[in-house]
Structure formats: structure tokens, C-alpha cells
Amino acid sequence: MEYNILFIADARSAKDDTIIASVYQREQGVYGVDEATGLKVSPEPFTWYRFRIDFREAWLLHCDVNYGPPPEVWPFYFARKYEATDEDGVFSVTKANELIYSTKR
């Protein structure tokens, strides 16, 4: 359990195996540069960010957000979140990781 992440099962969870992951950003700061746009990634402090994810990927989101290197991880979770989100609004943590680590090659 971490102070900055909540995982919530709702009515939709029973239908499609997804949960809501709410990630709290409490500190001000720049957490990397999005190489695709050249923009600094600086999530708003004191803000909850919401992701709908497959429940089986909750552990990976937890590891990325809390222990992953912010300059590499945060652009894909915040500036480029749309690249890993499908038409049903489900953010694929696995796809985000593929994007993160494919840019390091």
C-alpha cells in the first residue's frame, strides 16, 4: 500500500476486469522531457490522476509510478497517455512499458 495510489473496483470492474487507478502527485517539479514533443513533463502538484487499467496490471503501474525513473516513465503516463489508451478508455500499462523501453534503444 502506498500513500499516492488508490485502486478502486466499480460496477464496470465486474464486467471487463478493469479497475480505476488514482495516482496522487503531491510535489512540484519537472519529471522529464517528452522526446516526441520536446516538452517538459510536469504533472500538476496536489492532483489525483485517474487511469482505468486491467486489474492484472496494477502491480506494474505501482512499480512504474513509484520506482521507475521519472524522466523515462512519466512522459508516457502523463504527456503521452493517449498512446496507450484504447477506444474504451482503458490505459494499457503493458503498452506504456513497450513505448517507454522502445525509446531507450
pLDDT of res. 72: 81
How far is C-alpha 47 from the chain's CA centre? 14
Regions of the chain short of the pLDDT cut 50: 105
Q: What is the pLDDT of residue 103?
A: 61
Q: Is the dihedral of CA 30, 35, 36, 37 positive or negative?
A: positive
Alpha helices in 1-105 (DSSP H): 11-16, 58-67, 70-74, 93-102
Write the single-letter amino acid at 30.
Answer: V
For position 101, what pLDDT does the model report?
83
Give the whole-angstrom CA distance, residue 73 versus residue 75.
6
pLDDT of residue 15: 96
SS3 content of the chain, % helix, strand, coil (to 5): 40, 25, 35
Q: At what angle do helices 93-102 and 58-67 cross, to 10 degrees?
A: 40
